[in-house]
Structure 1
Amino acid sequence: MNFTQTDLKGCFIIQPKIFEDNRGYFFESFKGNLLSEALGYKINFIQDNESSSKYGVVRGLHIQRGEFSQSKLVRVLSGKILDVAVDVRKDSPTYGKHISVELSSENKTQLFIPKGFLHGFSVLSETAVVFYKCDANYDPASEDSCHPLDEELNIDWKVPVEKMTLSDKDQNAKRFSEFNPY
C-alpha cells in the first residue's frame, strides 16, 4: 500500500498494490498495522457503512461531534465519486480548507479522513456504491452538517448544480459561517 499525505495534515490518499492476471485481480483493501504506522497512532475501526447513490447525488457535508467524532476510511465498490474532506479542527492552519479526491472502483484509491473533518461526496458515474469504515459508532444526537454548496467553501463537486440531488437535511444545513464544530 502507498500512503500519500495530502495538503490537509492527517488526510491520506491510499493506493493499494493490485495483483492482476487473466483471472482478475486481488488487493488488500485494509491493513490496520500499515495504516496505524502511516498515521503514527493506532486506529481501531468499529463500524462499516455502505451507500448506493445515483449520478448527481451529493451527500454531506457531515460530521460527528464529541465522543462520537469519527475517522473514516472511504472507498468505492462500484462507480466513481468525488470524495471531499473539509478541515474544521480547532486552531488548524488549514481550517476551512478542503481536499477532493476521485475514488472509483477502477482506481481502487481510498481516502483516510481523521476526526475533525466535514465529509461528503458527489456521484460522478451513473451509480456508485460507497463503503467506509469508522472508528466510532454513529450517534444521531452528535451529528451536524454544513451546506455542501456554501459559497465560502467553494467546492467544485464536478456535477452541474441543475443535476444535483441533495437530501432535505443537506439542503437545510447550516452555512459555513454559522457552523461551529465545537
Structure 2
Amino acid sequence: MGDTLGSDSLLFLTDEQIRQGIEGMYFAYRGLTSEPDRILATLAYGRAHHRAIHFINRAPGTTVTNLLEILGVTKQSLNRVLRTLIEDGLVESRVGKIDKRERNLFLTEAGTALEARLSDAQRTRMRAAYREAGPEAVSGFRKVLEAMMDKELRQKYASLREANT
C-alpha cells in the first residue's frame, strides 16, 4: 500500500486505500498458504484438512463440536475431512471421558509431523514479515485483524491465545 499515512489520516481512509488493504489481504493470504498448499496437494488434501490439523494441534482433545465452532463449516463437511484424516492415520478420535457421546480429537505422531511441516513454512514467512515490518507494525496488524473479526470469533481467538501462552 504505497501510501505513508500519519496516525491522523487513518481515521479518514479513502475507498482506494481500503481497496488496497483488501487486495493486500488477498495476496498476503495467498503467500501464507502457498507452501502448505504445495505440501497438501502431494497428499490430495486441501485447506480444510490443514485447518482441522492446525486447530487439533492447538487444542489436543478438542471435541468435534468445538472444532465445528472454530472452523465455521457444516458437520457434513467436517466429518468428510476428519474421516480422511482418521483413515490416513493422522488424527485419532477417542470417546470422551466425561461425556461418552463426545469424540475427542488428537493428532497422531504422523499428524504432528505433517502439522509441523505445514506450520513451519508459515511461521518462517510470518517471522520474516514481522521482522521486516517491526514491532509497532506487528502490534498494529494484530489489532486490525482482531477488529475485523466478529465478536464471538474474537473471543474464541483470545481464548486460544490465552490457552497457549
Q: Same fold (TM over 0.5)?
A: no
Return the structure number with greater helix share. Answer: 2
What is the TM-score with the length of structure 1 in the denominator? 0.22
In our comparison, the structure showing a higher alpha carbon Rg is: 2
Whose relative contact order is higher, 1 or 2, with alpha carbons under 8 Å and at least 6 apart?
Answer: 1
With normalisation by structure 2, the TM-score equals 0.23
